Chain A
Amino acid sequence: MKKCLTCIECPVGCLLEINYDEKNLRSKDIVVSGNQCKKGKSFALKEIKDPRRVLTTTIGINSKTYSRLPVRSEKTVPKKEILRMITKVKKIQAEAPINMGDPIYKNLMGTGVDIVSSTTIKE
């Protein structure tokens, strides 16, 4: 099977061509071309087997200066789960003070990934 993808690992955005057999997803049997660095190959493999993205959104915060707090998933999460995860994350209300990297929600939907604050809000 042939698949064309744009690599999203960096702003270069290489156009990748991936040739593989759906029944055999062993990394060494998947042929990737068009990439200009090794990140392209590993991105292509991940996209075929288990596409993942970083989740980013905002949640409410009790603070003197801000009404929204930007948050992110500390690591990537399965792409197909992102919309469901966001509805869950959106319900959380944070409290100032908070530091960048502070966990907001631990082990999101059993993925083992934490949602953390993207910024520092002192008050």
Chain B
Amino acid sequence: MKSELYCDLAVVGGGPGGMAAAIKAYELGIRDIVLVEREPVLGGILPQCIHNGFGLHVFKKQLTGPEYGQIFRDRINNTKIKILKNTMALALDIDQGNGKNKGRNNSGISWKKVVVTSERRGIQNIAARAVILALGCRERTRGQIAIPGSRPPGVYTAGFVQRMVNIEGYLPGKDIIILGSGDIGLIMARRFKLEGCNVRGVYELMPFSTGLARNVAQCLEDYNIPLYLNNTVTNIYGYRRIEAVEISKVDDNLEPIKNTGCKVYCDALILSVGLIPENELSKTCDIKIDENTNGPIVDENLQTSVKGIFACGNSLYVNDIADNVTEDGYLSAQSAFLYLNKNLASCPFINISKGENINYIVPQNIDGDSDVLFRIRVKYPIRNAYVKFGNINFIRKLKYALPGELIFIEVKKKYFKDLIKSGKDFIRISVSKTPNFA
């Protein structure tokens, strides 16, 4: 029989986002918190990110990933948050309230049900008044970028080999080729070099690096690892083991150019070709998903389209750095706290629409009742860019607007006043070289 667990707040996912959310919620006074984590330890990907560069915003110093995770783990261990480790969340359900549940719930806030499973306790229902989703993300694989060729062992994703090298202690090969200049690929290029591997190069389809500029500097330039832009892998050779790849140049449309292919020998091909927010769980209760972020559509409180369910971390949108994930975790907890106290007035009727050079914007809709932090991802790089908020005449000038670096802009509440009075229901954001509104 299914056992039932009741709580005020269920946090799904024990990485940087979920740990921050649980701690903040506890500090705000929510006492009845359950944190669900599928691994045997809290931390998410932090334990495998052994490099430094974490914590600059949150702790004002440079920490490694394991240290950053350990600080939060220690803080959680000092609370009475109930942690369910080795536990996988399977489904979300908005309970319409059967008799038994009603008796325990006189708060007037509906129950949300999280169905979880673990080896020790079997299938369990967690009934929570509020839920925070901190589900993390997954790596794009060879199948998703459709590399032709044979299918030998030796083709791995960057995050997977990061775990393999740093946690399990195995090297995937000695002669390494990295496809994609995402941050994990750059970090792993340096890691392989430090482990004595030969890193033949990092090949990037786009005309610019998709990772942070500082990672290109400290991971590639420091160790003389070449970065080849506008190049991609067009064939994989080998049967029992990968033996070589074919590298081709690409044209302006990112299509491989015929007869530019050259064979490069390797014994491992590492793919760092993007991350996808993990939202299988969100989809089980019809939370609306943004097709550009691949995460839930949220308002400025990080509340999803289902009231009382909040999202943060890389399942909301793929962040560049863990500190931002922590901040969003805090914000989601604050919102959940207001929701549980029935102080979250949220009717997000102002739609945030995408103009020139916008890949995505979070939040996707707002109610304009408070200051709003916009997170903007551009499509292509621009120097001396103007970020323009149409309908509210708000402009911000930036030295750089880069796809690899999320843009954060806070807009004060007063800017939304006139918009609300005028009856308009959208703000169009664009990023370009001119300060003029289109």
Contact = CB atoms under 8 A, between A and B. Distances in A.
Interface of A: 5-15, 36, 53-54, 56-58, 60, 65-68, 70, 72, 79, 82-83, 86, 100, 118-120
B166 A118 contact: no
Contacts of B64: 54, 56, 70, 72, 118
B70 A100 contact: yes
Contacts of B50: 56-58, 70, 72, 118
A5 B217 contact: yes
B169 A67 contact: yes
B62 interface: yes
Nearest to B52: A54
B56 A86 contact: no
A44 B67 CA distance: 27
B194 A119 contact: no
Nearest to A82: B194
Contacts of A11: 53, 56, 212, 214, 320-321, 405
Contacts of A119: 47, 66-67, 69-70
Contacts of A82: 194
Contacts, number: 85
Interface of B: 40, 47, 50-53, 56, 62, 64-67, 69-70, 73-74, 165-169, 194, 212-214, 216-218, 221-222, 320-321, 399, 405
Contacts of A10: 56, 214
B67 A100 contact: yes
Query: Secondary structure of the B side of the interface?
Result: helix
Contact of A67 (B51, B168, B399): B168
A54 B160 CA distance: 24
Nearest to B51: A56
A118 B63 CA distance: 9
Contact of B217 (A13, A56, A65, A120): A13
10 contacts: A8-B214, A36-B399, A53-B218, A54-B62, A66-B167, A68-B169, A72-B64, A83-B194, A118-B50, A118-B66
Closest 3 CB pairs of A and B: A13-B213, A6-B217, A119-B66
A48 to B, nearest CB: 15
Nearest to A65: B40
Contact of B52 (A13, A56, A58, A66): A56
B169 A6 contact: no
A15 B213 contact: yes
A6 B194 contact: no
Given A12-B405, A13-B405, A70-B66, 17 more contacts: A6-B214, A8-B217, A11-B212, A11-B214, A11-B405, A13-B217, A53-B222, A54-B64, A56-B64, A57-B194, A58-B165, A65-B40, A66-B167, A67-B168, A68-B169, A70-B47, A72-B67
